[in-house]
Amino acid sequence: QFVIVVVDSTDRERISVTKEELYKMLAHEDLKKAGLLIFANKQDVKECMTVAEISQFLKLTSIKDHQWHIQACCALTGEGLCQGLE
């Protein structure tokens, strides 16, 4: 059982909303043992946030009770999608 979250790497204004919702979701009883996959989408767009920036902003290293992985991707080309699911 795992959760997949897709982050728009170009939307710096709403990343804080993503963070808030992510932590609410992970605190839910039904997801206590769920793994977490974060797709950093739109990595093909110039000036997008990097995977490192997104990881730092979402404070992913502070998540100790869930296995997590963040994967750069581009939904238009499919780049990174298979790697994330592996």
Domain harbouring 51, CATH code: 3.40.50.300
User: What is the tally of structural domains in the chain?
Assistant: 1
Bridge partners, 2 (sequence order): 35
- 32 known member of a binding site: no
Tell me the mean pLDDT in the region 13-24.
95
Question: Could you tell me the residue range of the domain that residue 46 belongs to?
Answer: 1-83
Cα 56 to Cα 29, 35, 65, 70: the distances in Å are 25, 19, 17, 11
Q: What is the pTM of this model?
A: 0.92
pLDDT-based confidence at residue 24 (cuts at 50, 70, 90): very high
- 71 known member of a binding site: no
**What number of H helices and E strands is found in the chain?**
3, 3
- 44 known member of a binding site: yes
CA atoms of 15 and 30, how far apart (whole Å): 24
Continuous H helices in 1-86: 15-27, 51-58, 81-85
pLDDT-based confidence at residue 84 (cuts at 50, 70, 90): very high
- 8 known member of a binding site: no
Q: Does 48 have pLDDT greater than 90?
A: yes
